Each structure stands twice: as structure tokens, then as C-alpha cells.
Amino acid sequence: MTGSTAPIPADQPVERSADLFLSAPAGQVLLAIVEASDFTPSELADPELAARVATAVMDEINPWRGTTPAVLERLALESPARRPLAERLAAAPELDGWFAPLHRARPQLWSSYTDHVKPFGPGLNRAKNGPMSPWEGYAHKPHPTVLTSTPFDDDLSSLVITTALGVNDLHMYDNAPIRRRRLSVRPDARVYEITGPKAWAALARAYPYVSHEGHHVEQGPDGLSYTSDRATLVPDWPAVARDWDGVHVSLGAMLLSTEVPILDDAGRSALWAWDAEGTYWLRWAFEDEVILPAIDEQALEVSGSGTDPASRISWPASLWHRALMEGDGPEARKLRSSHMEAQSRLSRSPATGLQRIREAARRRLP
């Protein structure tokens, strides 16, 4: 980046190791899905399949799902047995694309359920839109912003797949058409690469903002749990925008960085709620724009015929059940207790809705 005055270099070392696959919450879920689905590295090199698998992973570590801590607690116990698989994925050259930086020569794909992105155009400049907002501190994302993802076949991308299948807040927009635009990146665009948890921590320390918002996984004396209102260093996006046009996270870095805390004398930092490979643009850094036809998310559903590797994805929906029935940690005990309490309340509650309807009908009989 010629002439840059940024306090950190754009290209950070790629953080890709078996230990990260085994310790990162998303890495643990990924190993469970790959093992259950019997995927090979060659199959996972397909960008659409990789995006679908990553979506399944990010959905399983949804921080707003009450079962997540118990699932992660269970996976932490199972993960050591998956070390051979972790080592295979970490070393597989077929997965180098998972960790690739942004390719400025390739167009980027913007996608959203709505066209209400303001400003969408040369007016985008986060450095001129006031100080950090509480929402930015909570979400660890800039606003306003333009979010793009690297396209693959048929103008799909990791972000389009994640949007269509629904992760976290995206569940609120089921069955809406996904609007798309193809954007050509300027060759001189200044893009910082999130290559792993240390690269995210470096960004947060170079442009520090202390947030007391959000939900985070913590490893405490009693195991894994979610905490909130914990002081966390996040990037000060207006300050970042003075040196960088965008911040890119690769698919692999997203999976191995999400909720992986870095603790040092400066504080605590951890990537959170970035759900797909993509670039958050702080400034407009595009040469031209092409509006593409909207896509119906139902067109991206997998038939389940078995001819498409995506139909083999084994979403570990049973993980929470295993954590409930077999887990021996504090989060599993807490989950069992709440489950039993709910069942007890149900059994003690007045008649169910159907029973009340029947009783009312009986009362009306002569």
C-alpha cells in the first residue's frame, strides 16, 4: 500500500492451524459437520459447498440460542478425538481458497433483502459520519457501510448463500427476494485483511474503541459460557476509515476467528457476528456498478436427492440433544434444569389451548 500511513500493514500472516480448528467454537462445529457429512477437502474446495457448510456452522453457534453454550461445552470434550481431521484440513492445499485475500481484479457482489442502503455511492465515507455509535460497538461492524462478498458461479457468493439460508438476524427476512449488484473494485483500494484472531486484535488495538455491549463466549473455571457487558476492544470505525477503504475477512478466517478471544495488557478482543466471507467498505472504492436480477432464496434450496454434495450436509441439530442428555458440564446441567423446569410448568399449567376450546364447547352444550 504505497504511501500508507496506517499503523499496521494490510497483509497479516494467515492463521491456519489444527489447534485453531480444535479450539475455535466455529472450528469445533465445522469439524463435527465435516465428520458427520464425510466431506473431503476436494469437495470442500467448491465455494458454494463451502459457503453452505459455513452457514450451517455459524447458525449452530448463534449466540442468542440458549442451547449454544452446552453444545460448545460438549464439542470441547469431543474435539481432541478430531485432531487427525483438524490436521488434515489445516494442511490441505485444496482449502487455500478459504483463506485467500480480496482479489481486487475480480468484481465484488453486493446482496441484500433491501435496496435501502444510504449512502450507496461515492458519498460513502465512514470517517465523515460522526463518532462510533453504540450499535457499532455492540455489533463490531461499521455503519453506514457497503458489504460485498466474492462471487462464484452464477453470481452467487458466500453472503448470498448465508442471506438465503438465514443466520442470526437474517432469519427475520425469510422468503424475500435477494437484490444483487456487481461492483468493480478500484485497483488502488486500501483493504485490511482479517486473516485470523490476531489480525482482528491488531486492528482493534491500532484503532481502539472500548465497548461494553455484546455477547461473548468465555472459558471460565466452570467451562464455556456466554457473557455480556464485558469490556471489549473493537475497531473505532471512523478512525479505521481514515486509513482504509475496506476490511475483508476470508471464509477460513471467519470460522477460525469468531469468538476466539485475544487477551493482553491492552484488553480483550474477539471477532463477533461476521457471518460470511466479505468486505465491509468504509469508503466508496468502486469503478462501476451493474444491477443484477434479484434471486429468490427458494432457488437456492437443496433438493436432498443426494447427487449434490450439499445434500449431504449433516446439520448437527442433534448436538443440543446430546448436550442435554449426555453432557456432564455446568452448561449441560443448566440446560437440563431449564428443560425440566419448562416441562414441569407445562404439566402444572392450566389446560392447553385445545383443551380450553373443548371445555368451552362442552359448556355451551345443552
Q: pLDDT tens track of the chain, all 366 residues?
A: 434 567 888 878 999 999 999 999 999 999 999 998 999 999 999 999 999 999 989 988 887 777 777 778 888 888 899 999 999 999 999 999 999 999 999 999 998 877 656 668 889 999 998 999 998 998 899 999 999 999 997 688 999 888 888 776 655 555 578 889 999 999 999 999 999 999 999 999 999 999 876 555 554 444 444 454 467 899 999 999 999 999 999 999 999 999 999 998 888 999 988 999 999 999 999 999 999 998 876 667 654 445 577 777 875 545 555 555 565 667 656 655 655 554 444 344 444 444 443 344 444 443
Cα dihedral sign, 38-40-44-49? negative
Q: What is the pLDDT of residue 232?
A: 87
Domain presence at residue 247: yes
Q: Would you call 23 exposed, middle or buried from its count of C-beta atoms within 10 A (0-12, 13-18, 19+)?
A: middle
CA distance 219 to 65: 18
Cα–Cα distances in Å, from 364 out to 216, 350, 354, 360? 54, 20, 16, 6
CB-facing half-sphere around the CA of 344: CA atoms within 13 A: 6
Domain presence at residue 348: no
CA distance 113 to 294: 9
What is the pairing mode between strands 262-264 and 286-295?
Answer: unpaired
Q: What is the pLDDT of residue 173?
A: 54
Number of domains in the chain: 1
Task: Tell me which residue range forms the domain holding 142.
Answer: 18-301+313-327
Domain presence at residue 231: yes
Which of 193, 203, 92, 202 has the alpha carbon at shortest distance from 150? 193
Domain presence at residue 274: yes
Domain presence at residue 8: no
Domain presence at residue 297: yes
Q: How many CB atoms lie within 10 A of CB 361?
A: 9
- Report the DSSP beta bridge partners of residue 249: 194, 278
Q: What is the pLDDT of residue 71?
A: 79
CA distance 249 to 252: 8
Residue type present at position 136? E
CA distance 158 to 48: 7
Task: With 0.95 as the threshold, say if the pTM is over it.
Answer: no
Which of 159, 119, 163, 126 has the alpha carbon at shortest distance from 142? 126
**What is the distance, to the nearest Å, from the Cα of residue 185 to the centroid of all Cα atoms in its chain?**
24
CA distance 265 to 87: 31
CA distance 363 to 357: 10
Domain presence at residue 11: no
Cα angle 265-101-23, degrees, rounded to a multiple of 5: 50
Domain presence at residue 153: yes
Answer yes or no: are the C-beta atoms of 292 and 229 closer than 8 Å. no
Cis peptide before 144 (omega within 30 of 0): yes
CA distance 39 to 55: 15
